[in-house]
Amino acid sequence: MTNEFVKLDIEGPIALITIDRPKALNALNQQVLTELDAAISQIVAHPDARALIITGGGEKAFVAGADIAEMSGYSTTQALAFATRGHAVLARLEALPIPTIAAVNGFALGGGLELALACDLLYVSEKAKLGLPEVSLAVIPGFGGTQRLTRLLGRSRAKELIFTGDPIDAAKAKEIGLALEVLAPEALLPRCKEIALKIASRGPVAVAQAKRAIEAGADLPLKDANELERQAFALLFGTDDQKEGMRAFLEKRKAAFKNA
């Protein structure tokens, strides 16, 4: 699929989405959200995709936020509709059964950081700058930033970033647990692909169940979350891949998983 601003490439088991709107540093306008939603639908329908990487086109930005020019004249009704749309698209991204990786190659501000936060894993280039600067525009994050950042980093860190609006650099992002690794710009995508390929080599149903247990469990009391894990663990013993994975170990060979 090639759209105007959102490119989807599927190479083997890896899907790669590139947000590519260089004249606005890849800012998320309505069209970008629509194209992103369509790309997510294509990934859902693709039988071979085992991991998704999202990155920004060009050298400078991952995504520099929601589109300020488009938002500036919104009424409260339009703002509600825009936030509803953004939340819906990011919720679909978050609900993908395959792991998702944000390859943050530059500015990830506002809606851009919110997009990265809806991914499972976040890697940054040395050039990355991450932040939620919305209060400097006299609004607040509108695509889940107040919630996902807080759940990831805790209230205190999230409040510091959101109240000041100041972006942080790559090293700080790693120090506070927002980014997993800091990479040279040219090493970022290769490293993300390496991680994606490793994930793709594991039992796909098991990876999907692990993601579900972690994500759904995070919203539950521990007792209920553990029950969710117990059920998922048992369910996997009904799959061909579990038989293959354990047989392959015992036969000292590489497993050939079928996603079944």
In this complex, which beta carbon is closest to ligand DAK, that of residue 43 or of residue 63?
A: 63
Residues found near ligand DAK in the complex (CB under 6 A): 24-25, 27, 64-69, 79, 82-83, 86, 107, 109-111, 133-134, 137, 139, 141-143
Closest approach, Cβ 164 to ligand DAK, in A, equals 13
CB 53 to ligand DAK: min, Å:
22
d(CA 13, CA 190): 15
CB of 43 to ligand DAK, least distance (A): 23
Selected catalytic residue, list 11, 70, 126, 134: 134
Q: Which residues pair with 51 in a beta bridge?
A: 14
Cα–Cα distance, 19 to 35 (Å, whole number)? 9
Burial class (CB within 10 angstroms; exposed 0-12, middle 13-18, buried 19+) of 138: exposed
In this structure, are strands 168-169 and 121-125 parallel, antiparallel, or unpaired? unpaired
Catalytic residue, chosen from 114, 175, 227, 251, is 114
Give the pair of three-digit tokens for residue 140: 């607040």
In the bound state with ligand DAK, the residue whose beta carbon lies nearer, of 57 and 111, is 111
* CB closer to ligand DAK out of 58 and 217: 58
Measured from the CB atom, the residue of 144 and 203 that comes closer to ligand DAK is 144
Q: How far is the CB of 34 from ligand DAK (least distance, A)?
A: 15
Phi and psi for 135 in degrees, rounded to 5?
-65, -20
CB of 118 to ligand DAK, least distance (A): 13
Q: Is the dihedral of CA 11, 13, 18, 19 positive or negative?
A: positive
Give the angle 66-214-84 at the CA atoms, nearest 5°. 30
Q: Which residue minimizes CB distance to ligand DAK?
A: 142
Q: Which residue, chain included where needed, has tokens 């639908």? A: 41
Contact 138, 92 (CB under 8 A): no
Q: Is 134 a catalytic residue?
A: yes
Residue 27 vs 93, nearer CB to ligand DAK: 27
Catalytic residues: 114, 134
